C-alpha cells in the first residue's frame, strides 16, 4: 500500500546527504536550507512527524487552515509555505513576537494573539468553512479545545490533533489519557486515524478526525 501523497509545496529533498521533508520559505528556527527550500524537522513539529509517518492528513496544498497553539511559528510557518490563508492562534506574548517575525515574509500567515480555549475571541476574524484545524496546545482539556473550535470547520474538513498526555495529567499512563481524549472527541468528530508519535515526540498521539 503506497503512502499518501505529500501536499503540493512539500517535497522530500536532500540536506547534507539526508533526505528530509521541505517547504519553500524563509528560515524560521535555524533549520537547514538549500536555496529557497528549508528542511522541516519532524522532531520539532508534530505535523511534520504525522507526514513522516504517512498519516492521511488530507492536506493537499492551498487549504484554509486554523492553527491552534502556533507558539513561535516553527510548524505554522511551514504550513503557511504551502497552504492558503493560515490563521495562527497563540496565547503567550513572548512566542507571539517570534510568530510575527515569521509572518513578515508570509502574506498568507495571520497571527492572532488569542486563547484557543476561547474561540469566540477570534471568531470575528477567522472565516467559516476552514478546511483544516491543526491543534498543538499544551493545556488540559485538549479534546474540549478541539470541540469548541469545530465551529470553524467545513463539513468535509479535517482536524489534525497532537495530544500531549503530560499536559492532561502528568501522573497517568499516557495510553489511558489518549483513550479518554478519543472518547471525548467522539462527541463531535469521527476519528479516522490515531497514531503514537513515539520516536519523534514522547507521550504524544496524533489524531486525524472529521466533524460529524
Which pLDDT tens digit goes with each residue over 71-130? Answer: 999 999 999 999 999 999 999 999 999 999 999 999 999 999 999 999 999 999 998 899
pTM across the whole model: 0.96
Over residues 55-79, the mean pLDDT reads 97
Annotated binding site for S-adenosyl-L-methionine: 74-75, 90-91, 115-116, 136-139
pLDDT of res. 2: 60
The Cβ of residue 208 has, within 10 Å, a number of other Cβ atoms equal to 20
Question: CA-to-CA distance for 204 and 34, rounded, in angstroms?
Answer: 30
pLDDT at 3 over 80: no
Is pLDDT above 90 for 140? yes
CATH number for the domain whose boundaries are 42-211: 3.40.50.150
Closest CA to 153 of 135, 136, 132, 124: 132
Please name every residue paired with 37 in a beta bridge, in sequence order, or none if there are none: 24, 34
Nearest-angstrom CA–CA distance, 64 and 57: 14
Q: What is the pLDDT of residue 1?
A: 52
Residue 35, Cβ density class (10 Å: 0-12 exposed, 13-18 middle, ≥19 buried): exposed
Pick out the residues of the known binding site. 74-75, 90-91, 115-116, 136-139
Share of the chain above pLDDT 70, in %: 99
Q: Say if CB 37 and CB 25 are below 8 A apart.
A: no
User: What would the mean pLDDT of 46-68 be, rounded to a whole number?
Assistant: 97
Average pLDDT (52-75) is 97
**How do residues 8-22 score in pLDDT, each as one tens digit?**
999 999 999 999 999
Amino acid at each position: 500500500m503506497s503512502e499518501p501523497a505529500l501536499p503540493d509545496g512539500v517535497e522530500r529533498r536532500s540536506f547534507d546527504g539526508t533526505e528530509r521533508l521541505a517547504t519553500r520559505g524563509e528560515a524560521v528556527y535555524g533549520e537547514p536550507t538549500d536555496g529557497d527550500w528549508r528542511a522541516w524537522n519532524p522532531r520539532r513539529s508534530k505535523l511534520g512527524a504525522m507526514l513522516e509517518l504517512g498519516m492521511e492528513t488530507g492536506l493537499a496544498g492551498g487549504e484554509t487552515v486554523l492553527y491552534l497553539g502556533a507558539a513561535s511559528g516553527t510548524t505554522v510557518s511551514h504550513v503557511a509555505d504551502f497552504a492558503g490563508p493560515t490563521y495562527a492562534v497563540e496565547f503567550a506574548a513572548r512566542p507571539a513576537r517570534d510568530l510575527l517575525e515569521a509572518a513578515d515574509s508570509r502574506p498568507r500567515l495571520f497571527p492572532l494573539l488569542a486563547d484557543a480555549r476561547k474561540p469566540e475571541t477570534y471568531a470575528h476574524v477567522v472565516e467559516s468553512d476552514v478546511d483544516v484545524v491543526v491543534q498543538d496546545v499544551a493545556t488540559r482539556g485538549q479534546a474540549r479545545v478541539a470541540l469548541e473550535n469545530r465551529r470553524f470547520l467545513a463539513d468535509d474538513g479535517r482536524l489534525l490533533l497532537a495530544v500531549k498526555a503530560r499536559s492532561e495529567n502528568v501522573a497517568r499512563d499516557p495510553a489511558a489519557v489518549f483513550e479518554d481524549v478519543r472518547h471525548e472527541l467522539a462527541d463531535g468528530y469521527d476519528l479516522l486515524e490515531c497514531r503514537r508519535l513515539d520516536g519523534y515526540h514522547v507521550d504524544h498521539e496524533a489524531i486525524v478526525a472529521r466533524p460529524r
